């Protein structure tokens, strides 16, 4: 359906005159008449009748008018969805409980006029492809994983090395420690039920296990953080890794422990990826915000996989 003809019909219905509608639309009265006539032919009904006072809606015209207005509103929403600056900035985060998700929330707090659409895509390859294809504007990911290729036109910059802590229940051997070295975790079970083959989390923890010897266990379904806390709290052998800025809460009576890892401190390397030719003005604002709030690196020696160090 020709939306220009629909818009012209609505203008005539609102103005009550073909001549006034022509003035409102900045076209000739002949153009208005031709557009309405073409719409009537397409619909197979008469929408307007000319009267000495101007134009009046027919019964079919009254029935069609509400739908015509809906079509024009849908057209405006469609334009707004792709107009730079007119749609929300679409950003992918690897997890909504990660520290970078909190940084994005802070960005929105100080920039309330910027619309944000936060998504969590399943893996790094999917996220980078979505950036390349323009499905999302940016993603926070760890790069460059073994065998990973960054598409041409996609840029990235490191934004935060997030330190890892050991998360245990009260019966775990390291529950009372002030700090633990990664080497002391050799042979200890680290439960990461969210790790799946090919994911960046999996690649990271495989490298960590190869470097320091913890046993990364992925068995069992991932029922979310609440179920993970229940399992860790009741176990004397299972622990997991969390960032110190991860927002967590647990039931009263649970005595959970978050023990720093030091000498070296394993860090998870977050980078921001975006298309170099993306014109969305909020993307530049997000990048400037990330630079302004960039965290200081942990004190002392840090560790991250060799493939991440290349980024």
pLDDT at 302 over 80: yes
Structural domains in the chain (count): 3
Query: Are 287 and 155 part of one and the same domain?
Result: yes
Is 57 part of a structural domain of the chain?
yes
Q: Global pTM?
A: 0.68
Percentage of the chain surpassing pLDDT 70? 95
Query: Are 28 and 116 part of one and the same domain?
Result: no
Strand 48-51 and strand 54-57: the pairing is antiparallel
**What's the pLDDT score for residue 52?**
86
| Among candidate residues 27, 62, 82, the one where a domain is terminated | 82
Query: Are 194 and 112 part of one and the same domain?
Result: no
Q: What is the per-residue pLDDT across 60-75, written as a single tens digit (0 to 9) for each?
A: 999 999 999 999 988 8
Query: Are 138 and 211 part of one and the same domain?
Result: no
The residue segments making up the domain with residue 234 are 165-264
Quote the CA–CA distance of 21 and 27 in Å, as a whole number: 9
Is 216 part of a structural domain of the chain?
yes
Is 307 part of a structural domain of the chain?
no
Query: Are 45 and 119 part of one and the same domain?
Result: no
Quote the CA–CA distance of 205 and 178 in Å, as a whole number: 23
Half-sphere exposure of 310 (CA within 13 A, CB side): 11
**What's the pLDDT score for residue 125?**
87
| Among candidate residues 29, 49, 82, the one where a domain is terminated | 82
Quote the CA–CA distance of 205 and 20 in Å, as a whole number: 70
**What's the pLDDT score for residue 147?**
78
- Give me the chain's average pLDDT, please: 89
Query: Are 64 and 126 part of one and the same domain?
Result: no
Query: Are 169 and 156 part of one and the same domain?
Result: no
Mean pLDDT of 106-111: 89
Neighbours of 95 (CB within 10 A): 15
Query: Are 171 and 151 part of one and the same domain?
Result: no
**What's the pLDDT score for residue 309?**
55
**What's the pLDDT score for residue 81?**
65
Query: Are 249 and 284 part of one and the same domain?
Result: no
Is 310 part of a structural domain of the chain?
no
Beta carbons of 303 and 204 less than 8 angstroms apart: no
In 3D, which of 107, 72, 98, 96 has the Cα closest to residue 161?
Answer: 98
Query: Are 256 and 274 part of one and the same domain?
Result: no
Mean pLDDT of 65-94: 82
**What's the pLDDT score for residue 236?**
96
Q: How far is CA 251 from the centre of its chain?
A: 30
Query: Are 49 and 181 part of one and the same domain?
Result: no
Range from 7-16, 118-127, 228-237, 245-254 carrying the lowest mean pLDDT: 245-254
């Amino acid at each position: 359906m020709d939306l220009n003809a629909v818009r012209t019909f609505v203008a005539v219905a609102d103005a009550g005159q073909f001549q006034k509608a022509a003035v409102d639309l900045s076209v000739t009265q002949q153009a208005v008449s031709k557009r309405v006539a073409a719409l009537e032919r397409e619909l197979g009904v008469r929408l307007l009748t000319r009267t000495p006072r101007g134009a009046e809606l027919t019964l079919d015209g009254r029935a069609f008018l509400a739908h015509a207005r809906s079509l024009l509103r849908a057209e405006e929403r469609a334009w707004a969805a792709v107009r730079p600056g007119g749609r929300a900035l679409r950003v992918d985060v690897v997890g909504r409980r990660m520290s970078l998700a909190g940084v994005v929330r802070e960005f929105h707090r100080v920039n309330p006029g910027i619309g944000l659409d936060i998504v969590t895509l399943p893996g790094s390859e999917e996220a980078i492809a979505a950036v390349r294809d323009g499905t999302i504007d940016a993603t926070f990911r760890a790069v460059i994983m073994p065998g990973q290729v960054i598409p041409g036109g996609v840029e990235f910059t490191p934004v935060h090395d997030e330190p890892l802590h050991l998360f245990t229940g009260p019966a775990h051997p390291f529950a009372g420690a002030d700090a633990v070295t990664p080497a002391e975790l050799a042979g200890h079970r680290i439960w990461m039920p969210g790790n799946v083959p090919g994911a960046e989390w999996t690649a990271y923890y495989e490298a960590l296990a190869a470097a320091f010897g913890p046993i990364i266990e992925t068995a069992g379904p991932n029922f979310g953080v609440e179920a993970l806390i229940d399992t860790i709290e009741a176990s004397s052998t299972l622990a997991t890794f969390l960032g110190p800025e991860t927002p967590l809460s647990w039931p009263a009576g649970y005595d959970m422990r978050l023990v720093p890892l030091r000498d070296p401190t394993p860090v998870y390397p977050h980078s921001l990826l975006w298309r170099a030719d993306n014109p969305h003005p909020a993307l530049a604002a997000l990048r400037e915000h990330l630079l302004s709030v960039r965290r200081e690196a942990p004190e002392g020696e840090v560790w991250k996989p060799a493939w991440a160090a290349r980024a």
